[in-house]
Amino acid sequence: MPTLSDLAVRHTALDDADLEWMHSLVSDWQLLADLSFADLILWIPLKDGSGWIAVAQMRPTTGPTVYHDDVVGTTIARGERELIDTAWDERRICREGDPDWSTGVPVREETIPVRRADPAGGALGGCASGGPVPGGLASGGSASVGAANGAASVGPANGAAPGQRYLGVIQRSTNLSSARTPSRLELTYLQSASDLAQMVAEGRFPFSGAEPILVRSPRVGDGLLRLDRAGRVTYASPNALSAYRRLGLTADLVGAELGRTTATLCYADEPINENLMIVASGREPRETEVEAGGTVVQLRAIPLVVGGGRIGALVLIRDVTELRRRERELMTKDATIREIHHRVKNNLQTVAALLRLQARRLQVPEGREALEEAVRRVGSIAIVHETLSHTPEEQVDFDDIADRVIAMASEVSAPEAQVVPRRVGTFGVLKSEIATPLAMVLTELLQNAVQHGLAQRPGRLQVIVSREADRLDVIVSDDGAGLPEGFDLESSTSLGLQIVRTLVVGELSGRLAIEPRQGGGTEVTLAIPLPGT
């Protein structure tokens, strides 16, 4: 499926700036479709001027569609759809008198020329806030209050501006089959749609320079307010009213000044929130979020600027209480888990330090050695918890951990042996249930190789990993002295290998073999299943 860019580059003469305008139009035109209860198709003239290509399409979420098939990529010749040609040639919005029945349902067609405003040109007319003021919305904060004030004065009419450029035509098709006597809501929607269409034709919508909206903005169906020039509510959709009721409003919303009303509800004891005042006045295309009584509401202002003057604004309203509550919950849960790992690590380090202290006091060499080993065992678990305390998930990049455990082993090797262990292959990301026992197993095996195999002589020590989709194979191999005569894993009663066996077989449901290595030394093989990773 070709994208808007693909089609435009291949078939039309649009340049990069045009394309950007188209992208920002298309990213925001759901609003126009929803307010119009209509399908939108964006037609761009073909390079050779012979006709049109459809580069984007939008269906309304508020009403039935006209086009059940996708039309993107379709071309039509000039003369085929008179309404499109006329809107383009005469640079004006065209509306057909009678419904078109060619698709089987009555459809009202309308076409809107798409004009791109040049930020440097005069297409902005006298309105500083509604048009593409660089840094207007982009500033996001309260920096451009000055520009907003400028909007209050009506500028010179939108005459022949130097930055004038037309890019294509929007075909707006309304399925009339379900049309009823329009309610107040529908009339407000349609009036607002017609204002927005006018803004598209004047190069005032989309708001260029606006930050791309990453989180889903409120949609028409979420809740809609219409404001007059003074920021007073002239219409409130039932959803918008409900949102304000939840914020604590008991009085009427229609007739109220939105900025002051919202501030009273949400910031009663606080200094005036400038960003809210700008959004709620409808002077700038901006978003904000307000909270009161446990309800969180997102507001998005769309200034309506038609014929060079600001006539009011639409404010889309969405109750995001549940969404934000879930986000907060997730965030605190993650943070708590990380904090727990951090504390476990600290505690383990304290335990290791205590053991080390005790070891130093001991006069019996075996006792001291035993305690020093315990210190290392505790240390390898601490490493896993430390790694987990840095990641939001309960899984870790085990290569990191393995390398630290390996480095620890080389530290305990006798100075004359100078073992430099190395890792071949990668473990990748592992769940913590696997990472913790595996880190301990590696510690034991590496320690054995260094202590028993390579104690008297230098040699090679390798950890060879191969990871399959559902299993992990690990070989710890040294070319040292080899296993003692008559060694048997099953009957070995020493602690190290018992730990290894318990963890590999019991905890990890894996297999373990310890055998003489070909060419001398010892090879320990682990096969660990990775369920559901």
Q: Is 309 helix (H, G, I), strand (E, B) or coil?
A: strand
Query: Which residues of this chain interact with ligand ATP, rule CB under 6 A?
Result: 373, 444, 448-449, 451-453, 478, 480-484, 487, 492, 494-497, 522
**Residue 193 to residue 188: CA distance in whole angstroms:** 8
- Please report whether residue 448 would count as binding Mg ion according to CB under 5 A: yes
User: Considering the complex, what minimum distance in angstroms separates the CB of residue 476 from ligand ATP?
Assistant: 8
User: Considering the complex, what minimum distance in angstroms separates the CB of residue 526 from Mg ion?
Assistant: 15
Select the binding partner of residue 248 from ligand ATP, Mg ion, none (C-beta < 5 to 8 A, by kind): none
Q: Of the two residues 16 and 485, which places its CB atom closer to Mg ion in the complex? A: 485
- Please report whether residue 496 would count as binding Mg ion according to CB under 5 A: yes
Structure tokens at 444: 């034991």
Q: Of the two residues 30 and 492, which places its CB atom closer to ligand ATP in the complex? A: 492
Select the binding partner of residue 495 from ligand ATP, Mg ion, none (C-beta < 5 to 8 A, by kind): ligand ATP
Q: Which 8-state DSSP code applies to residue 210? A: P
Q: Is the dihedral of CA 266, 270, 276, 278 positive or negative?
A: positive
* DSSP structure string for 215-227: SPPP-GGG-EEEE
Report phi then psi at 263, rounded to 5: -60, -40
Interacting positions 235-264 with Mg ion (CB under 5 A): none
Which single residue brings its beta carbon nearest to ligand ATP?
496
User: Considering the complex, what minimum distance in angstroms separates the CB of residue 453 from ligand ATP?
Assistant: 3
Q: Is the dihedral of CA 421, 422, 424, 428 positive or negative?
A: positive
CA-to-CA separations, 473 to 262, 393, 427, 489, 528, in angstroms, rounded: 62, 24, 9, 19, 6
- Please report whether residue 372 would count as binding Mg ion according to CB under 5 A: no
Q: Of the two residues 305 and 446, which places its CB atom closer to ligand ATP in the complex? A: 446
Q: Of the two residues 191 and 492, which places its CB atom closer to Mg ion in the complex? A: 492
- Which residues lie across from 302 on neighbouring strands? 314
Interacting residues of 56 by C-beta distance below 8 A, sequence separation 6+? 4, 22, 26, 40, 41, 42, 72
Q: Of the two residues 137 and 446, which places its CB atom closer to Mg ion in the complex? A: 446
Select the binding partner of residue 453 from Mg ion, ligand ATP, none (C-beta < 5 to 8 A, by kind): ligand ATP
Structure tokens at 512: 């373990």
Select the binding partner of residue 191 from Mg ion, ligand ATP, none (C-beta < 5 to 8 A, by kind): none
User: Considering the complex, what minimum distance in angstroms separates the CB of residue 521 from ligand ATP?
Assistant: 7
User: Considering the complex, what minimum distance in angstroms separates the CB of residue 382 from Mg ion?
Assistant: 19
Count of residues in contact with Mg ion, rule CB under 5 A: 2
Question: Does an H or E element contain 95, and which?
Answer: strand 94-95
Q: Of the two residues 194 and 502, which places its CB atom closer to ligand ATP in the complex? A: 502
Select the binding partner of residue 42 from Mg ion, ligand ATP, none (C-beta < 5 to 8 A, by kind): none
Which single residue brings its beta carbon nearest to Mg ion?
496
Over the range 227-243, which residues count as b (16 or more CB within 10 Å of their CB) and which as e? bbbebbbebbbebbbeb
Structure tokens at 212: 């791309």
Q: Of the two residues 236 and 503, which places its CB atom closer to ligand ATP in the complex? A: 503
**Interface ranges with Mg ion (CB under 5 A):** 448, 496
